[in-house]
A = this chain, B = another copy of it.
């Protein structure tokens, strides 16, 4: 049905090897080049990627495993990665593992069976054991958002300096005179949660102040969770003057809770949120937030992967740490 290289060879009188060479960017005499191009367009030839894959063992496809698609942070990064990889001819197969380690492990197996050329992963499993099938096959792996200590010399990782981010936010609040600062963090066993909490604690320590651990509220990175945590903090700490919320969804939930309680920002409570510039501009007063460099994360992840794939990236695997930014709004009130 569809034209093959053989048909091109027949029409041009050239050999298969020459057609193949042309198709793969090799040198071909100008006049042959023209003949091949004409034949290709006459016959509407397109390379059969199946046959090509069989020979090269490359699928031009890469797998992406994430805990949950339904989060702006994740969705935005996936969009960026997908866009870049597609421009290089790579298809991106998404696997959502519902923050479930078993599903995550199965996803790796699934992708390896599907012969992806590489795996991008925002890992749920902490020790990286789920990636074994991929590493055994020498597939390039790039992690993002969270790194895995065991694997730090084996796979690339792109993360932000979460400790620094949280420290910046907390220090800013302290510098503005706040002493009783609440923090809403994610699950206690998640890399980013721990780091962000550490930054909060560090800011207190460096200022020679002490924090009260009852001002720390563990949540689950969801809108609902943020709402709940904020209500709890408000109920338990009448003296609290500021809250730092450590991801977008929880920030949203917290804002809603504050509004419901009729608390005026920033007069009665100062707040620093996380991510999503867009939301921060919509809210009045404009929210002061920590922003992660989403574009840069996406770009770094994609380009690490492309480097590994092209084999050009001979330099050893490593962690890329990007900086966050404290984007000032008007949601922090100077305190005396």
In the assembled complex, A278 has its CB within 8 A of some CB on chain B? yes
| Alpha-carbon distance A96/B87, docked complex (angstroms) | 12
Is A306 part of the contact surface with B, judged by Cβ < 8 Å?
no
Query: What's the Cα separation between A238 and B111 when bound, in Å?
Result: 57
- Looking at the assembled complex, report how far the CB atom of A75 sits from the nearest CB atom of chain B, in whole angstroms: 5
Q: Is the CB of A78 within 8 A of B94?
A: yes
Give chain A interface residues in 75-125, CB to chain B under 8 Å. Answer: 75-76, 78-79, 82-83, 86, 91-96, 110-111, 113-115
Q: How far is the CA of A303 from the CA of B148 in the complex (A)?
A: 37
- In the complex, chain B residues whose CB is within 8 Å of the CB of A60: 114
The chain B residue sitting closest to A83, CB to CB, is B96
Assuming the contacts A278-B224, A283-B256, asked whether A94 and B82 have C-beta atoms less than 8 A apart, the reply is: yes
Bound CA–CA A279/B255 (angstroms): 12
- Bitwise, A259-279 to B at CB < 8 A (1) or not (0) is 110000000000000000011
A70: interface (CB < 8 Å): yes
A93 contact set on B, CB distance < 8 A: 61, 91-94
Chain B residues positioned under 8 Å from A82 (CB to CB) = 69, 94-96
Is there an interface contact between B50 and A115, defined as CB atoms closer than 8 Å? yes
A-B pairs, 6 with minimum CB distance: A259-B259, A50-B54, A50-B53, A91-B93, A260-B284, A70-B75
